[in-house]
Structure 1
Amino acid sequence: MDLINTCFEMCDYIEQNGVVRLAGNVKLRDNLKKELLHFLIYISMTDGRYGEEEKAFIKKKLGFDVSASMAADIKNRNMLGAGYITRVPETFKYFILANAGHKIKNDRYDNKEARTLAETYRKLGQEYLAANTGSTEVEINVLSSYCVMLDENLKSYGLLRPDYKSVAIQAETADEKEPDADELIAELNSLTGLTAVKEDVNALINLLKVQKMREQMGMKQTSVNKHLVFMGNPGTGKTTVARLLARIYKAIGAISKGHLVEVDRSGLVCGYIGQTASKTAEVIESALGGVLFIDEAYTLTNGKGQGDFGQEAVDTLLKGMEDHRDDLVVIVAGYTELMEEFLDSNPGLRSRFNKFINFEDYTAEEEVEILINNCKKQEYMLSRDALEEARRFFTERVANKPEGYANARDVRNYLEKAISNQASRIVGLKDVDKNILAMLEKEDLVGIEL
């Protein structure tokens, strides 16, 4: 059974269990069908176009026969403009209510109705754009932003996989089920902060999935450049996102293996003529079928003209990208200003790296959230006073951004020092129980310097 019909059955199930009853005897499944129609019209009318392909798709999927004039009227009457992208669908709210409040005992859908509905919106939008020969980047971007909005709502109610529970780690052993694209996208969207990054990456994923669908339907496809530039300060999640993206690319069929090879200048450059090309070629070979992530890529060219062999690595990299364009993705990363200089150093770099994703610094609130999640991962807790001390510390640190400020890396170092302080405090205690071992107190945090 397809996802739409599954969601309709979930609507009936939620009503039968008394979670919600709409006014006027309106069925929840009918309300959802109307909301899905609004969703598709919103995507289609973003660029002002609505044609026979869109009309046929809506008729096939939802049973509505909607002409262009009717679509325009529905858009105007239901205010499907710029503000629509921030409005949470009513049925989605009820699904969240059912799941977040655990309203249904022994839920036969394993308390995943809201997650399933979010995935239905994503897949329905992808299919809609794949069926339309004139789908545009604008439409893909609004689909991506809408899906991120739904996932952000799931996350706020604890219904999206949290940061500290890694799908990638769970699937490391061969006998465990490989996660699918939706699970991996959910993990990406559950990361703390990074809203703009999530929207950009979701847009790229949606574009690639749409092209795969078009290929399967025997339709023409648009060439998609999968290589990326990650720009931002240290500790902003660039490597974390790259690891997830490698697995997502594999899950949607964009690459064959989905592994990530991480290197910096020292992993590519040697001190003698000819060695650099050989070393770089070996790294490229090891990354085939996956993603090659080059951190601080600007260091390959910032010594250009002084007997430096970094340019040799760049030339070898460009050739490797051309020779293996169908099964190699390269992500170059580093500080924003220095990455611009890197790309300007060689015309071939600009032509191959034309998709930029900017990683903003974390806010103090986001760094505290990362701290809490890291504590959970390591089976620690913060007392109420310790949490307030952490908030004070990161509010001050983010405001001042002292030399060496490193975003989430600061959070990791802060927690390591707190755990060390706690160990020194409790090592001599008698009758130490699990609660004492897990609890970080304010005195463990006061005075920490990074």
Structure 2
Amino acid sequence: MGRVDRARISIEDLKGKADVDDKTWEKVSVALGGAKDCMPLISNFAFVNAKAVTTAVNSLDNAVQKGKVMLLYDLCREQCGLLLASRTTMEAGTPAAGGARAAPSGAQQVEPKRLKMSLFVDSVDDGSFALLAIEDYSSRLKFFKQLYGDVPVPQIPTREQLSALQSRLLEDESPFVDFRVWTPGQRKRLREEKTKRWTLDDGVPTKVISVSTPSLAQWRESFVIFKHAMVMLKQGSFADFERYKSAVEGLTETFGDYWSVVVEADEVMRSSHIGSYRDANPQLSWGECFVLAADDAAFWRCHVDHKVMRFHFTDKEGPQKSGKGRDPRQRASKDVSQQFCYAYQDGRHTGDKCKDGRIHLCQGCKGRHDLPRGRNLCPKAAAARASVASKGELAGSKPEGAPPENRARRA
């Protein structure tokens, strides 16, 4: 009770130092306690909930008076040994007006950690973002679970993901996230990033980047995390984002063999086009923008329907009229049932059966799995090649103490 007893003094002195006039103070007192004289002491005001004070202050018409009342609130809280409500009111460790001592060293604000956008939200964004305080992240997660119940851990956005997305929103950018890096299992993905191969590009060491299209299953996993993050940041409702997800899944059902076209259109929509709805009506929430995106038939017709038709007729007519343009390895065999489907290798075709009658297997490992696939991109094939190479090095190495005749024979 020591800090309360020390603050059981009249608030008038601090009111004068914060320059809060009686008329403004009466409005705040009525808004918080229902009476003009309900907060005569410093402790009465200091222990009021910060959200309630913010609501009362926002009801004032004068922006200058709003700032003065918030300054008074912080002075009262410091007098009681509480953390500042307005973090930018004063520098950490600066004495408060009226001789009040600064908050304890443990309460000083620490500079937030900054992380790279390219690692968590967008692989081509070279910017950075500030990491949310753990208390802020925990409170948002707790509130989310109170409303919607427990959700599986892989579907919960990490502190880094939520911080990066919030940073984009605060900068008034569209809430685009790249589903190649915005994935569940962030620690595993980042650990794999650390072990990627490097190569020399014009004498400069450069990390080898493998660009692959996420499969439909991976897209769904990433979108669920994105949906939960947007709801946690109060940017829309579950129904808003489910509407968009259903639209993309509907296109996939219609054009199942052309998933790469659908996912490319989805990226164009979320990265750039969706902002046009808000430009036309700034009052729209991002959730409402996603609903408009789902219903934008003209966009999907241009970016999906028309592209699929062009691919379809190119696949059907172009290669059959002339052998030119077809991969030489495919022209070697006239029986298409014995040929690998190259559209399946890069994700343009999906499913177990090829509509053109070719083989839907990975050309690298001769198995069926999600992207990346192909002779050079398949991770299983790469591991097998590395294993063979290591065995060859062991077989070709010269054991210690080998007799001269063996060395001569090898020579």
TM-score w.r.t. length of structure 1: 0.25
TM-score by length of 2: 0.26
